[in-house]
Structure 1
Amino acid sequence: MSIIQDRRTLLTGAAAATLFTPGLAFAQSGDVTPMRAAAEKGFDASVKRIQDWIALPSIAAENRDMEKGCEYMMALARDAGFQHVERIPTDGFPGVFATLDVGAKRTIGIYFMYDVKQFDPAEWSSPPLEARVVDKPGFGKVIVGRGAVNQKGPEATFLAALHAIRAAGKKPPVNIVLVCEGEEEIGSPNFRQIVTQPKVLAALKKCEGVVIPAGWQSPSNGGVSVNLGAKGVVEFELVASGAKWGKGPKTDIHSSEKARVDSPAWRLVSALATLVTPDGNTPAVDGYFEKVRPLTAREKELLAMAARQMSEADAKKAMGVDRWIDDLPWDKALERLASQPTINIEGLVSGYTGPGGKTILPGRAVAKIDTRLVPNQTKDDAVAKIRAHLDKRGFTDIELNVTGGYDPTETDESSRLIKAEIATYKKAGVPISVYPRLAGSWPGAVFTSAPVSLPAGQFGLGHGSGAHAPNEYYVIESTNPKVEGLVGATVGYIDFLYEIAAIK
């Protein structure tokens, strides 16, 4: 596959329609018409850019095409106009550092990931690497593929904004520092190594903040959330084995032997049961809540406003759930989502799991766990507490293997970054919820903590869904008048850059 394909410039009629209204910053900067026209003319090329990127699945968990993914990311950056593009090695898979210096007074940092989650093609309606354009009822034309919304679609849309600015004969209103990694989907274990490289750190120190592109408009009202932080995460495995325990079989044996041989699988189940309350909903690890910061009065106020602005029915429908924990009302469910740490079983594997039965007593059992962290918890403290909790209860033989993770983030509501996001969204005419904390996680703590110490968050118009799941999609031509397609989302990034340049 060639790194950058030829660009088609024919504009489809549906792509020409966009509801985006440029803001005051645009009026101050000059005529927006050439940039909008360039985004429209480049629509086909922008779609192909997403499709070509999806066709190269860099999967860190499988060590699949990681060097190719890094090279492709570098080529995409060069093609978008970054003058300096550099591969940054780590103890794991490499990252990319790039700069676009236009001599502007202000600089913005952009975070990309070039890796994606694993996939099982049998679960998809179309091959996950073909990135087919299909009609999705209620949404319009969408690209279906692994990485479509997480994160290649939104990231490629940001690159499309840079292409449109250049095609219109203009320069970006701010300098741009791009930092990319290939290990986000395994918990970013080496991302700090990239960011703390002296040249990368020096460039980031000049930034107003760092954003990760997103496409999260609500299909019901086109609304977006401006998040003032995100939960941290730790991903790890707990492993019980006869070899480590000294009891039970070292390999699988016939299940009739259970009458006289211990079971590592039941051993693991017993250990897991101690980590949470009997309903499975609250961490019960010794001392786990001692550093948890309660919600502030302002955070509670923001959550109450969000409860009035956001649709509970839409949230339940999107997840396929009928009830919240303890049948909580909507406002209390939002408070719990923002404020509570979690310990979750991602996967639980032991012995035979194929068709029919296979009467064995497994010699090994594995639980894949993630724990979400809130301020003022840290990854290292959480891991230490879980290890101590298990050891105190006699589970010293249970292996705890951390695969990745990072701390939670917090960003000041009065920072230029947040104010620019809100201003851009308002001028786009979309409803806004300022939300205390994203329940999901991203490695923004690397930016918000020392030595970088910058505001960080998400920004973007458009819509997609299905991250980590089959049939992941990203809208490119929207039939929903409340949600932007690819062109509108592209222009949204352009306006955001102008807002960063102009915001007081």
Structure 2
Amino acid sequence: MDTFAHTHVRFRHTLVAAICASLLVPALALAAEPDLAAIQRAVAGQHDASVKRLQDWIALPSIAAEDLNSREGAEYMARLAREAGFQKVEILDTDGKPGVFATLDAGAAKTVGLYFMYDVKQFDPKEWSSPPLESKIIDKPGLGKVLVGRGAVNQKGPQTAFLSALHAIRDAKQPMPVNLVLVAEGEEEIGSPHIGQLVHRPEVEAALRDTVGVFMPAASQDTEGKVGISLGAKGVVELELVASGEKWGRGPKKDIHSSLKAMVDSPAWRLVKALDTLVSEDGNTITIDGYPKAPPISAEEKAMIAMSTQLRSEAKAKEQFGVAHWIDDLSWQQANERLISQPTVNIQGLVGGYTGPGGKTILPHRALAKIDLRLVPGMKKDDAVAALKAHLAKRGYGDIEVNVSGGYDPTSTALDAPLIQAQRTVLERRGLKPYLSPRNAGSYPGFVFTNPPLSLASGHFGLGHGSGAHAPDEYLLIESSNPAVQGYDGAVMSFVEYLYELGR
């Protein structure tokens, strides 16, 4: 507008001035701030319907690992997108589970990408104090009322809160500040093996290329209300190592009596011995020959971690995780430096032979280890898998099968990316002082956005609190008893504010 005024300062004719004034009206209208109070009223008015939307979604579990409800999950995700205002919604098939691609054209100047997942982790109802698909709302001392259910915080709760933000903006008759491009997959919990087949379809990639970046809704506050901004995530590889008498050529090809161990080799012990070569004696340092090296932690990353550890409680973290010591009895800051900077080889589970009541005295013909490898920036999934296979072969364990089910590279985004700076602005405007983290210790397939050919910013955002991802009694905070921690409606409003800030 300053340029416009200076360009026309020499024009004094009344008619020209009138024309100039009329031209400014649309610009002023576009620059007007949204009526956040009206949106807040809409959020409060739709609270029950929003929570019911989440409960209904949780009642339909899509579990990729169990091949359960994948098509139904995609159809439900598509329905939720249409109801939230996305005009174009498509279910896209892959060589695995289907995904959803949707766009919302608001006629806005900027476009924002969204990453959703509609699948959830497996669960055993016997381990839960509240049925995992019933989404009961219970009192949780020190927090308030929480909704307990599989997917409550990972990720259906935050995603539903984001969709509720779109409903509220529309119900309040406020303009959508940005256009949206949504990619939703149904295989995140098995390592997103076909995410590339969704994102790199020509029409999807073209739509994402115009975005300022891609973010994943989250409930990022801890129990005290503190919140961090993460600049990336570790990569992951999910795989199985299988030792069998058939592949080995030694040991039995079927389970036999355990007394025969005196003269027959054991595939189960072979797997144990092979696993032992992957890590140091304490299990904490990777010893795979030729494994990709993690770059040293930088001074900037150390400074971020130092700030975050000062703000977060070590005692509460230990209580939450149920641990008494960190590796090597490291200090709180040193443990977090290790958490952020180090790759890992983790045994998720060991399966072999008889595991029921009592004993069965057998010599199992087959044993399996479920493994995940976490990778930091500078490491590649394919390099890690290749090194693992070569290591086993070199050590004489080439018969052990390495079955990779999914995985992807790490992700990293610059602090000055508008997608990240908008998060900081929203949080600081609320009086929050977010700490920075170089990356999440967990993983999500953000690499498909941050790596070429898209090379976009990617991250997580959202207020609110939840916990128990992948574990029994997973929950999302609905009504908070602590003003510093946002409940469900506060989480919805954080997405409203974020969208408007991105639109600016």
Coarse TM-score class (shorter-chain normalised): over 0.9
What is the CA–CA distance in structure 2 between the aligned matches of 1:28 and 1:257, rounded to whole Å? 82
1:202-281 equivalences in 2 (<5 Å): 202-220=206-224, 222-281=225-284
> Once the 2 structures are TM-superposed, how far is the Cα of residue 431 of structure 1 from its aligned partner?
3.2
Aligned Cα root-mean-square deviation (Å): 1.1
- Residue 438 in 1 paired to residue 440 in 2? yes
Identical columns (%): 62
Distance between the aligned counterparts of 1:170 and 1:411, measured in 2?
31
1:452, distance to aligned residue in structure 2 (A): 1.4
Deviations 1:354-411 (A, max 9, x none): 1111100000000000010011101100000000000000101000000000000010
Residue 483 of structure 1, aligned match among 482, 485, 495: 485
Matched, 1:353 2:355: yes
Q: Distance in 1 between matches of 2:236 and 2:81?
A: 29
Provide the C-alpha distance between the structure 1 equivalents of 2:400 and 2:393, rounded to a whole number of angstroms: 9
Alignment partner of 1:122 is 2:112: no
Q: Is 471-480 or 292-301 further displaced after alignment? A: 292-301
Distance in 1 between the 2:309 and 2:469 partners?
Answer: 24
Provide closer, same or farther for how the CA distance between residues 28 and 298 of structure 1 changes in structure 2, counting only shifts above 3 A.
farther
- 5+ unaligned residues in a row in structure 1: which ranges? 1-25
1:265: how far off? 0.2
Correspondence for 2:11: none
What corresponds to 2:462 in structure 1? Answer: 460
- 1:91 deviates by 0.5
Matched AA of 2:203: K
SS of equivalent to 2:213:
strand
- Structure 1 position 59 matched with structure 2 position 63: yes
Cα deviations by residue, 1:405-445 (Å, 9 ceiling, x for unpaired): 00000100000011001111112223311111110000001
Asked if the contact 2:35–2:174 (Cα under 8 Å) also holds between the matched residues in 1, the reply is no
How far the C-alpha of 1:482 sits from its partner, in A, is 1.4
SS at 2:114 equivalent: strand
Distance (whole Å) between structure 2 residues aligned to residue 347 and residue 428 of structure 1: 43
The structure with the largest alpha-carbon Rg is 2
Task: Please tell me the residue identity of whatever aligns with 1:84.
Answer: K
TM-score (norm 1): 0.93
1:272 and 1:343 map into 2 onto residues whose CA distance is 10
Distance in 1, matches of 2:361 and 2:297, equals: 50
Equivalent-residue separation in structure 2 for 1:210 and 1:280 (angstroms) = 36
**What is the match of residue 6 of structure 1?**
none
User: Post-superposition shift, 1:170?
Assistant: 1.6
The size of the alignment, in residue pairs, is 475
Report the counterpart of residue 48 of structure 1 in structure 2: 52
Measure, in 1, the Cα distance between the counterparts of 2:272 and 2:449: 37
Superimposed CA distance per residue, residues 168-216 of structure 1 (whole angstroms, 9 cap, x where no aligned partner): 0123101011100000000000001100001100110011111111112
Secondary structure of the corresponding residue to residue 276 of structure 1: coil
Separation (CA, whole Å) in 1 of partners of 2:441 and 2:340: 6
Task: Tell me how far apart the structure 1 counterparts of residues 423 and 197 of structure 2 sit (CA, whole Å).
Answer: 28
- Paired with 1:86 and 1:280, the residues of 2 have a C-alpha distance of 46
Instruction: Quote the residue 1:23 is aligned against.
Output: none
Which residue of 301, 305, 309 corresponds with 2:307?
A: 305
The Cα of 1:351 is off from its aligned counterpart by: 0.4
**1:13-48 per-position Cα deviation (integer Å, ceiling 9, x unaligned):** xxxxxxxxxxxxx99513211100000000000000
Letter in 2 for 1:425: L
Further displaced range: 132-141 or 34-43: 132-141
Quote how far apart the aligned CAs of 1:128 are: 0.7
Residue 154 of structure 1 aligns with an amino acid whose one-letter code is P
1:337 is matched with which residue?
A: 339
Name stretches of at least 5 consecutive residues in structure 2 with no aligned partner: 1-29
Alpha-carbon distance in 2 for matches of 1:80, 1:155: 11
Say which SS state the counterpart of residue 419 (structure 1) adopts: helix
Question: 2:41 aligns to what?
Answer: 37
Q: CA deviation at 1:332?
A: 0.9
Task: State the one-letter code of the partner of 1:293.
Answer: P
- The one-letter amino acid paired with 1:436 is P
Cα distance, 1:27–1:119 mapped onto 2, change above 3 Å: farther
Partner residue of 1:381?
383
Instruction: Name the amino acid aligned to 1:172.
Output: M
Cα-to-partner distance string for 1:109-164 (whole Å, 9 max, x where unaligned): 11100000111011111211111111111111111110010000000000000000
Q: Distance in 1 between matches of 2:490 and 2:31?
A: 17
Structure 2 letter corresponding to 1:469: A
Match of 1:70 in 2: 74
Cα displacement string for residues 214-252 of structure 1 (whole angstroms, at most 9, x for unaligned residues): 1121112x0111001100000000000001000001111
Deviates more, 1:307-316 or 1:330-339: 307-316
Q: How far, CA to CA, are the matches of 2:242 and 2:140 in structure 1?
A: 42
Residue among 366, 371, 394 paired with 2:396: 394
Work out whether residues 292 and 384 of structure 2, in 8 Å CA contact, stay in contact via their aligned partners in 1.
no
